[in-house]
Amino acid sequence: MQTPRGIQELTVKIFGDGAGHDDILEMADKPFIKGFTTNPTLMRQAGISDYSVFAREILEKIQEKPISFEVFSDEFLEMERQARIIHGWGANVYVKIPVTNTRGESAAPLIRKLSSEGMQLNVTAILTVEQVQTVAEALNPEVAAIVSVFAGRIADTGRDPMPIMREAKATLQNLPHTELLWASCRETFNIYQADEVGADIITVPYSILHKLDAIGTDLTEYSLESVKTFYEAGRASGFTL
The residues carrying an active-site annotation are 96
CA–CA distance, 168 with 163 (Å, rounded to integer): 9
Query: Could you tell me which residues come within 8 angstroms of residue 52 by beta carbon, excluding any fewer than 6 positions away?
Result: 85
Q: Count other Cβ atoms within 10 Å, centred on residue 15.
A: 24
Phi, psi at 178, each rounded to 5°:
-105, 130
CA–CA distance, 68 with 144 (Å, rounded to integer): 12
Cβ(168)–Cβ(150) below 8 Å: no
